[in-house]
Each structure stands twice: as C-alpha cells, then as structure tokens.
Structure 1
Amino acid sequence: MARAANLEQLGILVGEWETTVPGREVKGRTTFEWLENGGFLIQHSTVQQPDYPNSVSIIGATGSDGAFQQHYFDSRGVARIYDMILEDKVLTLFRDGPDWPQRFVGRFSDDGNTINARLERGTYPGGPLEHDFDMVYTRIR
C-alpha cells in the first residue's frame, strides 16, 4: 500500500519525543512511526504520572485536500476522533464532541525538533474554548 501523498508531510513527526507540561511535574514520551507500508502514522504516548492517561492514536489522510483524522484511544477507555491539519509548521487537532470541544495547536521550531503546544477545551459543544495547559515536545531521536 503506497502512502498517500499528503500523508508525507507528517514525516516531520516521525521519531521519539520527550513531553513536558511547563509548571507541572508531568513528563512523558511520545513516538510517531509509520504503520507497515506507511498508510497510517501511529502515535504512542506514555506519561510518568498515574493521573494522566497513556494513549495510542492512528492518523490517516481523509482526502487529497491535506486534511487528516486522528483516532485516539487511551488507558481510561476513552476513544475520540479529531480532525487534523498541518500547515506552515503548525499542527492543529480539533473536535467539537458531544461531551466537550478540544483544540491542540502545536508550533514547530525552525529546525523541527521542538513543538510548543497550547491545549484548549470548552465546557459544552459549540461553546468557547479556553486555555487548558501548554505542552512542549522535544525530539530525542
């Protein structure tokens, strides 16, 4: 199976990343790797604190327009689908789910080895989003 042309741009994520939440004692690891022949990108995230879930996500192209979807599953049994866009070194994931909306905006450094992310959430579908927390991804390899 050949990798979709627009999926190639997600190659900037491939590798292992250390994650930190500034101002909190929360550290973790996230890896991104191609599934078999590259039809999907797999994300594994672990957090070194039991209050935060570990997760696995499958990311795939939704068409030729550069849009993606992330199917997220975590250790609490939560499953969610996020729409995803990567444009001009800005990664955006968002959903307006039935429980509460969320948005992740991650900005890559010029060298592609750091992502500074802002996570936001709302309290009801269609409602305004508010800052939840920041996260920094630092490439390890």
Structure 2
Amino acid sequence: MRSFDELATRLLGSWDLQGSHPLLPGDDITGRATFEWLDGHKFLIWRSQYDHPQIPDAMAVIGWADDQLLMHYFDYRGVHRLYEVAVEGNQWRFWRDDAGFQQSFIARFDDEDTMSGRGRMNRDDAGWEDDLAMTFRRRTAG
C-alpha cells in the first residue's frame, strides 16, 4: 500500500470496533466505523460511533490539500483537530504536533479484514503516553 487511493480502497466499508483506553482500565470499548467516499472520490469520510459514554462519536474527512494528505477530525464535544496523514507499507498513521498537545495513531492491516491501531499523546511536553487502542474488524466491504 503506497498511496491514499490504495488506503481508501482498503478502508471502504463498515467495521466493528473493539478497544481499550488507559484512563478507562477494565472497560471494553466497542463501536462501529464506516469509511466512504464523498461524491467525486476526492475525500474519504470516516464516521465512528462508540458504545462507551466517555469515548466521543466522531467524524473525519481525509484528503489532499495543498499537496499534503490531511485529516480534519470533529467530535460531538465540539473538538476540531487537523492531522497530517501518511501511508507507509501495510500501515497508515495520522499525527498532530501542536504546541501543548501532540497526538499520533498508527494502524496496521493484520489481513484484508482486520486492522489494529494504537494511539499516543503528549500533553504540555510531559512525555508520551498511551492513548486509545482499537481493533477494526470488517463487517462489509465498500
């Protein structure tokens, strides 16, 4: 996988989610995600819904802007973040390096229907710590 189009082709469809968060020890985080093209096939829409009340439902738009692959993230809390995106081998990642709060998430395709990812964050340059970990299992292909 070398390009955004290849990544989008692998992501298209609906997924079941199962994961964990270090601030919610022992809690099983489940949910659903969909990836679909916006008409015109220039932007990929990622919608996530979670069954855990402390994990926000969210939407992200992934696509090229000014020769850079970016993801605009929005959630129900009113949070809006802009991430850079890279596709490398059998994985994709997104990250932000804003002053005071950095985040990254790396997801690897285990096979055609399973993807595992782990997030990390750094608040106020206090050091990197684990964030949300999530496994995606395909329900339907796009």
Shorter chain as denominator, the TM-score bin is 0.7 to 0.9
Matching residue of 1:3: none
Residue ranges of structure 1 left out of the alignment (5+ in a row): 1-5
Matching residue of 1:16: 14
Give the length in aligned residue pairs. 132
Q: Which moved more, 1:6-15 or 1:50-59?
A: 6-15
Cα offset, 1:62, TM superposition: 3.6
Confirm whether residue 36 of structure 1 aligns to residue 33 of structure 2: no
Structure with higher RCO (Cα < 8 A, 6+ apart) = 2
Which of 58, 63, 69 is 1:60 aligned to? 63
Separation in 2, partners of 1:62, 1:7: 13
Separation in 2, partners of 1:103, 1:26: 19
Separation in 2, partners of 1:118, 1:74: 19
Matching residue of 2:23: none
Separation in 2, partners of 1:115, 1:62: 26
Aligned pairs for 1:1-141 (under 5 A) are 6-9=3-6, 10-22=8-20, 23-62=26-65, 67-109=68-110, 111-124=111-124, 128-141=127-140
Structure holding more strand per residue:
2
**TM-score normalized by the length of structure 2:** 0.84
Cα offset, 1:26, TM superposition: 1.0
Residue ranges of structure 2 left out of the alignment (5+ in a row): 21-25
Instruction: Give the counterpart letter for 1:7 in structure 2.
Output: F
